[in-house]
Structure 1
């Protein structure tokens, strides 16, 4: 049997460093922010996570594609990554759940990738220099001169200053109801900033009727639902650009509606409270990040995908609260690798958030209890709400 000759591909970083490899997925040109993901499993969940919009993902695990692809593990309706970089792609998938080949799925989605790259060297470069813009050139595009390739990369927009949530949000509202046999206990308005499918599914399993709303939803439209709680999802882009979403969240806090935020939602809670945000050098991406839950004292292994973080007022977040216009807030979760704020808990308004992903479909599941914590908050708020005044009937 003869095999087709591999097509060359070239990866060009904005600082001029290049990596040669072979075309993988679609052929052509793609540019985006180069980031690395340390997960050894769950590559399909990574590819379909809307938070990776406009990012070229470098997989640090050397063997990718072994389990193929299937419809069950999709976190959204499509692949969102701008490009994909792997070292040793599987020759063929080998898993009882596989419904297709990863390279073919990337090709069908128009995602330009590159294989045969020394991803260890590339990852070390990004750790030393920080996340940066990158281009992948394959097929006919690989014949262009390197100076022209570098120009295209350096002209690409940076992630800092980019407002991207509206580009990945649902165009129309929809409802995820509790499964058969589970009673509906609460109604939650979930702002889709790049929501992953497992998030409303896990809420629904707990008796929550989830109304997933477009990112541009107005306060009036949200309040017309009379929600028992509000949720802000994960999503791509710079939280400093999300003015509409921050103002909407302040309306929620003003009305003391219970709030829970994940990832981008965590950063927006910080902004709504008056805290700043900043861009991390290379971010946290993968499913093996250690986080301390200061409320329980436990260290959790967690799933991350974020390149921005909350700036704590006094630098490194301690266990002491900070003052905000909405009362005191605590950093109740902290990253053990670099002391990044990984969660907020408000003392005087019913709101909390985490920077990581408790809904991690590919694992780990250490933090899934946070959905139960949200249910507890909804229960307490319902119990504390004043009962309606009795009505009198005319005789």
Structure 2
């Protein structure tokens, strides 16, 4: 019962026994399931006797070891502890000029490994070369893991290195509009300034309307329209959209001089937090552009008189409040972070 193995008889001594003799130190073997008394197994690897006599395990011990190694301790089968040591160490290394490229780019990989004679190169798990320093042509946008495995004539020696390549579409869809605020019945011209594209499709509110390079469209009714250009290049597509607001002019409206204007750049995080009128009849706008404070001085029809961007604190600056004092100076209040732990700043500015 002690070792949970039924074919190992009880043993009541740890005295070393000469390997060519026999000994029986326990007379109760039949109580453990044996049909007759058994000699001590001093030759068993699990015995506490003479080390020089150890030569075997019983079948029961073998079965028990297999059960645990193949089930409870199966991770031992993947251990490299029993392998011979690597006598010719390898250092694997690879380099590439850039890890951010566009479609249509051939990337060369520089092998900087030492101690190796054979190489396997994989892209997202698929073997693509066994050369020393191969190249690969990227024609599809995505994220690619390049893995180099290096070997030599020693079967116990190997090493690997990897790099991630980000591939973006080299086609960029862009267009300019002749008027984003037409009246019903007006025709707007959209001028295509896309790059690395050969085929184009134009849609208005999701409906295909044209396939020429440039596009004109007559807006018959008032409303908001989404005009999109899909530009197709040799390897990928890109889409660019603009909103067009079609409005019926109201000549009786005392606010007919009002306007709707988009501010900022499409690729920059911009926001306006405060707008105030000035004694001169213009307006001041305060907010942020990227991580800088933004102050914009404009006419009442939206024209820019001047615009300034400041990084007062090296943080995520923004202007939250504007006020003109009795001396006609501009008082600026802002913060360097959007959370409650940010610091305030105050500036008096002769605008």
TM-score category by the smaller chain? under 0.3
User: What is the TM-score normalised by the length of structure 2?
Assistant: 0.20
User: What is the TM-score normalised by the length of structure 1?
Assistant: 0.18
Give the number of the structure whose alpha-carbon radius of gyration is greater: 2
Q: Per residue, is there more strand in 1 or in 2? A: 2
Structure number with the bigger relative contact order (C-alpha 8 A, sep ≥ 6) is: 1
